[in-house]
Amino acid sequence: MNISILVFGSQKFLTTLPDQIRYATAFSVEVIANLDQAVSHITMTPPDIIVVQASLDGSMELCSWLKDQPKLSWIYCILLEDRSQQIIDRGKYGWEWELEMTSSALKQGADAYIWQLPEGKTDYTLAELTANQRLILAQLTVGLRKAKKYRDLIRTNDLLSAIALADSLTELNNRRALEWDLPRQIQKAREQSLPFSLIILDVDFFKKVNDTYGHLVGDRLLQLLCIRVRHNLRFQDTPFRYGGEEFVILLANTTGEEASIVARRLNRIVSEQPFAINNQHTINITISLGTASLQSDDDEQGISLLHRADQCLLEAKATGRNKVIGWDHLSHVQYLKAAASS
């Protein structure tokens, strides 16, 4: 596990830390003494542990800011008290005052609050020096355990998310994944002023395959179909199993004309070669496809875009199947029909 530590403090402060931190080889250490720079660094590259010098300007602000960030609050923050006045008051007022200071530091966002040994004194015993260093390292160990648990949780969540968004039969992304990804791709296309299109395709007469050969053969056919389709898409095309024998393909940075080219190629590569289910069964199938491109008045979720592509798919199936119908073509046909009826 590659652990990273951010020291918010001066170079002089760094020299007071245990050698295991300063000369670490098992993890990386960054030193920053400016609050704005530290916040920028944490936001862009979150460390696992932060060691904060209490006397540095912005130290408590950093601890408080960190705990106010939902996505960063897991970072373990160790505040080292090195302010001379606080250390003097600690010796003057005793343990009750020390507990009050500790309570205040924890409330403001520190996960651990450790008193440094006062500067200027040179007659510390080896036991005193060792105890202080061991306390810092003990809190570092706590932070390391927390970082490991957090990373394990992230890996588990990523695995569960992948399972939830995958179709177990075809290994494509499922409809839930489409509903999550389509709005993202629409937003990206609009922000970058890029074209965006999609394809809806359906296997022609798939029910006949199931009725003739059984559902296991039908399932295997869908698997082979998805393999063939996936291997004939461009790198920016994203396929999804929409439901049953129906699939959606998102086409980033693709015009309506280009979408029709992609769709016609898929139509051809499916129909031109039979699918070998096993040694006994080889099945010929065709697919019908509808295409549509993003328009300025489409909703952010992509519902209207999907609807237009689906209308094209229905037209392809109604007019003979095994063909591609694009929205431009369908809207022109509908216009001519409306003009003729009037």
Catalytic site positions: 245
CA 310 to chain centre: 29
Sheet of 324-326: strand order equals 237-243, 246-252, 196-203, 287-293, 324-326
Whether the CB-CB separation of 20 and 137 falls below 8 Å is answered with yes
- Radius of gyration from C-alpha coordinates of the chain: 32
3-class SS of residue 287: strand
Alpha carbon distance 177, 166 (integer Å): 7
DSSP strands (E only) in 48-99:
49-53, 76-81
Q: Which two tokens stand for residue 144?
A: 């390391």
Residues 6+ apart with CB under 8 A from 117: 124, 128, 129, 132
289 DSSP β-pair partners: 201, 324
Q: How far is the C-alpha of 254 from the C-alpha of 262, rounded, in Å? A: 10
| Order of all β-strands in the sheet with 112-115 | 27-32, 3-8, 49-53, 76-81, 112-115
